[in-house]
C-alpha cells in the first residue's frame, strides 16, 4: 500500500500554483526560457485556441493567449438576416448544447415582441435545455478526463451522450444543429414516446455518472492532476465576469435559474452545487453534480408537462397551419407576410440572458422596426473564462494547462463567434 503522501508538499511550492520552481532564489533570466506554442491546432486544445507559453524547465512562467481562429462574423451575419433566420446561426455558437442557444436568442426576441410562449413549449424548452446541459457537461468532463489520460471515462460519458442525441434527432431531425425553437414556441411537438425515452436515458446518465465517479473519486492520478491545480479565487473570477460552473466552483453561489428565475425554474426543486477551492477538481466534479440536478429538473418537468399547442397563435410571429395556408386567402397572406416581410419587433434595445451550460449566455438585440435585427451582440460565457486562461496557467506545468483548459470548457464556436 502506498502512503497518501502529497508529493507536492515536499517541494517548495510557489505561492499561487502547484508546480514548483527548482530554486526560487535563482535570478530571473530571459535566456533560460523556452517558448512553446500550444495550439492553435493541437489535440488538447479541443478547437483552435492558442497559448504562447514561456517555459522555465517544465513550468510556465508567462503565457499569452490568442483567439479568433473560428471567428466567422456571426454578429455581422445577423444584421443581414431576418430574426427567424438567425436561429440556425445560434446553433453554431455553443454547438455542444445548441438548443440552449436557440432558447436564449428566442427568449430575448420574444420579450421584445411581447409574445406569450405557450406553457407546453416552455416546459419542453426546459426539458430539452436540461438535456443539453447534461450532454454539455458530459462532453466537457469526459474530454477533460481524456486529457488527463483517463480514456475509459470518455466512453462512459460519450456512450450516453449518443443516446441523448438519438432522442434529439427524433425530436428535431438533427443531432448537433437542432434549430428546435421558433419565435413564439417550438418547431414541433414532442413525439409520443418522448417522455419514456427521456426517463430511460436519464437512468443511463445516472449510471454513467456513477461509473465515472467510481473511476475517479479515489483515483490517485486524477486527484494529483486536479486538486490544487490552476486555482482561481472568488475575487479574480468575479473580476473576469465568470458565470456558470466555473464561477460556482470558486464558491460563489450564482445561478440565473435561481437568481433571476425564468421558465418556472423557481417551481422546480433542485440544488445549486458550489465548490470551495476553485481548482480543476472542483470544476470537474461540480459538473457531475449539476448533471444530477438536471436529471431532477427534467423528471419534474416531464410530470408537469401540460397539454396544448407548442407555438403561439399570435399571427405576427407564428406561421398558420398548412391547411390554412393552402385552404384560404387569409392563411396564405399570413404565411406570405411572415416569410417575405418578416417578423418586425418595435424599435428598441434589449439584453436578455439565460443560464446555459457554460454560464450566462446573453443576447443584446437592437431592433429598428425592420425584419432584420439592427445589431446582435452575443455574450458567450466562455469568453470570460478564456480571458483569464493565461493568468491561470502561469506557475503551472504544461500538463496542468491541458487539464485546466478542459475544465473551463472553451467552445470555440461561441468564443470566437
Residues of this chain that bind another protein (CB under 8 A): 28-30, 33, 35, 50, 52, 54, 61-64, 66-68, 71, 73, 75-77, 79-80, 111-112, 236, 238-241, 252, 254, 259-260, 347-353, 360, 362, 364, 366, 368-369, 374-375, 377, 379, 383-384, 387-388, 390, 394, 416-417
Helices 280-304/119-147 angle, 10° precision: 150
Structure-derived torsion over alpha carbons of residues 98, 100, 102, 104, reported in degrees to the nearest 10: -150
Q: Which is nearer to another protein, 3 or 31 (CB)?
A: 31
Shortest Å distance, C-beta 6 to another protein? 27
Which of 236, 263, 252, 230 minimizes the C-alpha distance to 126?
263
Q: Which is nearer to another protein, 319 or 350 (CB)?
A: 350
Q: Which is nearer to another protein, 12 or 173 (CB)?
A: 12
Q: Which is nearer to another protein, 166 or 260 (CB)?
A: 260
Shortest Å distance, C-beta 64 to another protein? 4
Alpha-carbon distance of 306 to 285, in angstroms, equals 34
Shortest Å distance, C-beta 185 to another protein? 20
Half-sphere exposure of 159 (CA within 13 A, CB side): 14
Shortest Å distance, C-beta 105 to another protein? 15
DSSP category for residue 410: -
Alpha-carbon distance of 120 to 185, in angstroms, equals 9
Start-end of H helices in 244-279 = 244-249, 256-259
Shortest Å distance, C-beta 140 to another protein? 21
H or E element that contains 182: strand 181-182
Q: Which is nearer to another protein, 197 or 352 (CB)?
A: 352
Shortest Å distance, C-beta 235 to another protein? 9
Shortest Å distance, C-beta 91 to another protein? 20
Q: What grid cell was written down for 18?
A: 502547484
Q: Which is nearer to another protein, 162 or 349 (CB)?
A: 349
CA quadruple 92, 117, 82, 338: dihedral sign: positive
Contact assessment for residue 135 and residue 97, using Cβ atoms and an 8 Å cutoff: yes
Shortest Å distance, C-beta 119 to another protein? 22
Collapsed DSSP state (helix, strand, coil) of residue 206: helix
Q: What grid cell was written down for 41?
A: 491546432
Q: Which is nearer to another protein, 77 or 204 (CB)?
A: 77
Which of 254, 296, 246 minimizes the C-alpha distance to 272?
254
Shortest Å distance, C-beta 397 to another protein? 16
Q: What grid cell was written down for 265?
A: 425554474
Q: Which is nearer to another protein, 73 or 149 (CB)?
A: 73
Shortest Å distance, C-beta 65 to another protein? 9
Half-sphere exposure of 194 (CA within 13 A, CB side): 20
Contact assessment for residue 101 and residue 361, using Cβ atoms and an 8 Å cutoff: yes
H or E element that contains 121: helix 119-147
Alpha-carbon distance of 347 to 351, in angstroms, equals 14
Which of 93, 123, 119, 118 minimizes the C-alpha distance to 105?
93
Q: Which is nearer to another protein, 92 or 390 (CB)?
A: 390
Alpha-carbon distance of 186 to 180, in angstroms, equals 6
Q: Which is nearer to another protein, 12 or 347 (CB)?
A: 347
Q: Which is nearer to another protein, 321 or 348 (CB)?
A: 348
Neighbours of 293 (CB within 10 A): 20
Backbone angles phi, psi at 268, to 5 degrees: -85, 145
Shortest Å distance, C-beta 107 to another protein? 12
Amino acid at each position: 500500500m502506498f502512503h497518501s503522501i502529497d508529493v507536492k508538499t515536499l517541494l517548495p511550492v510557489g505561492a499561487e500554483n502547484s508546480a514548483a520552481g527548482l530554486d526560487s532564489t535563482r535570478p530571473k533570466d530571459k535566456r533560460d526560457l523556452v517558448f512553446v506554442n500550444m495550439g492553435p491546432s493541437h489535440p488538447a486544445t479541443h478547437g483552435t485556441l492558442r497559448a504562447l507559453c514561456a517555459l522555465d524547465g517544465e513550468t510556465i512562467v508567462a503565457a499569452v493567449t490568442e483567439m479568433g481562429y473560428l471567428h466567422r462574423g456571426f454578429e455581422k451575419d445577423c444584421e443581414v438576416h431576418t430574426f427567424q433566420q438567425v436561429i440556425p446561426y445560434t446553433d453554431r455558437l455553443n454547438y455542444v448544447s445548441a438548443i440552449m442557444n436557440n432558447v436564449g436568442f428566442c427568449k430575448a426576441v420574444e420579450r421584445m415582441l411581447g409574445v406569450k410562449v405557450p406553457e407546453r413549449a416552455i416546459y419542453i424548452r426546459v426539458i430539452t435545455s436540461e438535456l443539453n446541459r447534461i450532454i454539455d457537461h458530459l462532453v466537457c468532463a469526459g474530454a477533460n478526463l481524456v486529457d488527463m489520460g483517463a480514456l475509459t471515462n470518455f466512453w462512459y460519458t460519450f456512450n450516453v451522450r449518443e443516446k441523448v442525441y438519438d432522442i434529439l434527432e427524433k425530436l428535431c431531425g438533427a443531432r448537433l444543429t437542432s434549430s428546435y425553437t421558433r419565435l413564439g414556441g417550438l418547431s414541433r411537438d414532442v413525439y409520443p414516446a418522448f417522455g419514456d425515452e427521456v426517463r430511460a436515458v436519464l437512468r443511463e446518465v445516472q449510471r454513467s455518472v456513477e461509473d465515472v465517479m467510481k473511476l475517479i473519486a479515489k483515483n490517485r492520478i486524477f486527484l494529483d492532476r486536479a486538486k490544487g491545480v490552476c486555482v482561481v479565487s472568488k475575487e479574480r473570477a468575479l473580476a473576469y465576469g465568470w458565470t456558470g460552473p466555473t464561477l460556482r466552483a470558486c464558491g460563489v453561489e450564482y445561478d440565473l435559474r435561481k437568481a433571476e428565475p425564468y421558465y418556472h425554474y423557481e417551481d422546480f426543486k433542485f440544488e445549486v452545487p458550489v465548490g470551495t477551492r476553485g481548482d480543476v477538481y472542483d470544476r470537474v466534479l461540480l459538473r457531475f453534480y449539476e448533471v444530477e440536478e438536471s436529471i431532477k429538473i427534467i423528471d419534474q418537468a416531464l410530470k408537469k408537462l401540460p397539454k396544448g399547442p407548442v407555438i403561439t397563435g399570435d399571427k405576427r410571429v407564428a406561421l398558420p397551419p398548412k391547411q390554412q395556408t393552402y385552404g384560404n386567402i387569409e392563411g396564405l397572406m399570413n404565411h406570405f407576410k411572415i416569410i417575405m416581410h418578416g417578423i418586425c419587433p418595435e424599435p428598441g434595445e434589449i439584453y436578455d440572458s439565460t443560464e446555459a451550460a457554460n454560464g450566462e449566455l446573453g443576447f443584446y438585440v437592437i431592433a429598428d422596426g425592420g425584419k432584420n435585427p439592427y445589431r446582435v451582440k452575443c455574450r458567450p460565457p466562455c469568453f470570460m473564462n478564456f480571458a483569464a486562461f493565461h493568468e491561470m496557467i502561469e506557475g503551472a506545468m504544461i500538463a496542468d494547462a491541458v487539464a485546466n483548459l478542459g475544465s473551463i470548457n472553451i467552445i470555440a464556436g461561441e468564443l470566437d463567434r
